[in-house]
Each structure stands twice: as structure tokens, then as C-alpha cells.
Amino acid sequence: MDATGAPAFDALAAKVSELAEVCTRLSRENATLRQEVSRLSAGMSPAESAAPSSAAGARTKLELPTAGPTRPLAGKLSRRMMGKAVGAAAVTAMGAAALVEAGAQPAAAATAAPDANGNAVSAGNVTKGESRTSVLYDGASSFAGVVLLGNDSTYDGGEANFPAGLGGWAGAGSTAGKGGVANGIYGYTDNGGGNGVVGYNSNEVAGSGAGVLGLAFGANAAGVRGSNTAGTAVSGTSSSTAGDATAIIGVISSTSPGGFSSAVRGQNNGTGGLGIGVWASHAGSGWGVYATSDSGIGVNATGGSGTGVSASGRTGLVASGSAVGVSASGETVAVEAQGPTAIQAAGSGNGQAVNATNNSGTLATIKAVNSGTNSGIHATSKGRGGVFGGNLAQIQLSPGSGATHPKGGSRGDLYADKNGRLWFCKKGGTTATWHQIA
């Protein structure tokens, strides 16, 4: 080659030399990376990885051949020499690239230990693990989506009405996903001592949130539904000792609710004589049921063909009211009471202790039966003990079975014998003194 081509060859030689320096640097860095990968895979410290392993033997440092001198060659170069230089540079570049690529794949290192936690989590695959797998959000505090979302809908998980760490979304209709999944989140356990789903609110930052919040927007849907084929469907427990604490509370939030809407309803579909619609109990001397109404009825009970209210106890029924203590109506019996004192009523002021009205006209307004020897009705007053009025008669005495008055009696007794005579006891005793007044 003549002197006119020397500058071009010199420039090419300079580029080859520069490329050789780059390859040499990459070779050194690659060796360092491989050593670090081996240390991380085996769990060794930097000091341990620096020493040769007795089991595997001393590793031989891989050195790439240099492609030429570190400076441009002076003088003439033949085409053959230039071809060799370029070829060596190309081989060096490819070798360095291969080593760098190998260093970027730690799992492919020959000395790497088996990964006890399996491979990286990937869609469509089962990933085994012997340690916790967690997705930790460390972005902006204004995040308004779901960190880890199982989604079979057309919604975007970047925005949510309730931002959460874990979410399960299922669509329907125009928002349905390809899977047609119906349920958002399903919790399941075979452990009888465990729980399918646990919601926990520590209230570390005080608020009015919930451990589990259920929302529904359909007339036949339920915010929270519990079902149990062998026991209790829904159970609420509160360990609070504060006043007005509640284990379960039901609220109709509307100020104009519909007729027969109920905050809490108990329904028993049994068709026999067993079972209870609502059962309230108290283990101490408190109240089993407490019902209030500002201007309506505190307790309204209907029994159909049975009994509207049945009460038993040392005192079967206690009622007080600013106007009326007990108001009862029935097709046959308005109030039926049994006990040593069947009914005890006290009125205050000018009110009435008992006010009974019968609109049927065929049965007695008040019927009192005593199977013993005491009174059927006992009435006392600082005024008149009894006031009676009637169009047919003010008082009717049912005739007795005797042909005359009884032998004994109490002063003030009236007795009508079977012959229609009326006797008045003037002096009581086992042998009483009776006087015929009619």
C-alpha cells in the first residue's frame, strides 16, 4: 500500500485500539459482576467469596485477548494485518457482550444455589414460596386505587371508591370481564376454628369505620348476609362496658320510611307450634326487651288466631302510661291474666286504674274467674268501690244452688237463692245472721 492510504489505515487502527480498551474494561467489570453473582447466590460475604472454594477449586480468571496496542500504529499496515485487527476486535466485542448478557442473568450462573422461593411471580403460573410474598406500595400518598387487584371487569384499578391494599372486582353487563366472574372476593377455609374472611379495625387512629363494611343497592339485595345450615347465621358480640353499647344495631336512616319497614326483623318460617321470631334474654335482673316510641306504640303485637302478648313472671305484665297503662283489643279476649293476683292496676290523680271497652256487645268486657275461695274481683276506693250502670240492670246476681241463704257468711254479703229471694248478711260468722231484703 502506498503512502496516500496510510492516514486512513492509521485512523482505523486508532478505532480498533479504542474498541480494544473498551472490551478490556468490560472484561474486568464482567469478572467482578460474576463474582458478585456467585456470592449472592451462595449467600456468602464478600470476604468469603474472595477466597477460592475448596470444594469447587480455584476459579481461573477469564481474560479476553486484547485486539491491538493501546495506541495507533505508526507506519504502514497491510490489508491482511488490518483484517486481522478488525476481526479480533469484532470477536472481542461479541465475547464481551455475551459475558455481560450472562452476568445479567443471575439464575443462569453455574454456581448459583437453588432458589427456595421459586421463580418470580408471573401471570398464569403457580409460584411456590417458602417465605412471605408481599407487594409493597411506596409511591405517592395520594394513591387512590388498589395496590394488588384481581379484576374481571372493564374498570381500571387506578381509581376506587374505597382505596385498598387488596381488591377483587367483578363486572356484569357492559362492565363484565371475559371470565364472567360473579364474586369480588371469596374467602374459604376447611378449618372449623378459622374464619373464611377476617376484617379487623384497630382504631389506632380514632374513627367510625368498620372491621367489615357491606354495601348493597338492590331492593332484594343485602349489605351483609349470613347463612348457616347447622347453627347461628349472624352473631354480634361486644365486650364494651360503656352505656348504650350494642352488639347488633339496625338503623333505618330515612326520615320518611315506608310502612312496616323495620330496623331489625326476625322471621321464622316454621308452620308448626315451635320456634320464635325474635328471642331476647337477659342473664341478670335487666330487661329482656326495651321498646320506645316518641308518639306511637312502644310494643305492638298481634297473634292472629293466637295470643298477641303472653307474659309470665313473678309479675307477668307491668305497664304505665301518662294516659293509659294498658290498651288491649281482641276478638274474644282483650286481656287474659293468671296469677295469685291476676290483674293489679293503679291509677293516679283522677284517672282510672282499669278502663275496658267492649264493642262486640256479645261477651263480657271484663271476666274474672277464681278457682279458689277468694274474690273474682276486689275493688277498693276512698270513694265508691264500684259504680255500675246498664239499661237492662245495673247489677245481676247469679242465683246460688241453695233454697235459702248459706249458714255462714261475712257481714255485708248479698246472696240470691235459687228461689229468687235476696238475703243480706247483717252479722258474719260460721253461723251468720241473714236478713231477707227481697
Strand 164-170 to strand 146-152: parallel, antiparallel, or no bridges (unpaired)?
parallel
Which pLDDT does position 266 carry in this prediction?
A: 94
User: Is 174 a domain residue?
Assistant: no
> What is the rounded CA–CA span in Å between residue 289 and residue 277?
13
Give the residue from 75, 108, 141 where a domain finishes: 108
pTM: 0.56
User: Is 42 a domain residue?
Assistant: yes
User: Is 428 a domain residue?
Assistant: yes
pLDDT tens by residue, the chain, 438 residues: 555 556 666 777 777 777 777 777 777 777 777 777 676 666 544 444 333 333 333 333 333 333 333 333 334 434 444 444 444 444 444 444 444 444 444 443 334 444 567 678 888 888 888 888 899 999 999 999 999 999 999 999 899 999 999 999 999 999 999 999 999 999 999 999 999 999 999 999 999 999 999 999 999 999 999 999 999 999 999 999 999 999 999 999 999 999 999 999 999 999 999 999 999 999 999 999 999 888 888 888 888 888 888 888 888 888 877 777 777 777 777 787 777 777 777 777 677 777 777 776 677 778 888 888 888 888 888 888 888 999 999 999 999 999 999 999 999 999 999 999 999 999 999 999 999 999
Which pLDDT does position 54 carry in this prediction?
A: 37
Give the residue from 45, 75, 108 where a domain finishes: 108
Would you say 334 and 328 are in contact if contact means Cβ atoms under 8 Å apart?
A: yes
User: Is 282 a domain residue?
Assistant: no
User: Is 202 a domain residue?
Assistant: no
> What is the rounded CA–CA span in Å between residue 336 and residue 317?
11
> What is the rounded CA–CA span in Å between residue 324 and residue 335?
14
Give the residue from 79, 108, 137 where a domain finishes: 108
> What is the rounded CA–CA span in Å between residue 93 and residue 25?
11
User: Is 357 a domain residue?
Assistant: no
Domain that holds residue 9: 3-108
User: Is 71 a domain residue?
Assistant: yes
User: Is 20 a domain residue?
Assistant: yes
Count the domains in the chain.
2
Which pLDDT does position 206 carry in this prediction?
A: 95
> What is the rounded CA–CA span in Å between residue 380 and residue 344?
12
> What is the rounded CA–CA span in Å between residue 405 and residue 415?
7
Which pLDDT does position 3 carry in this prediction?
A: 52
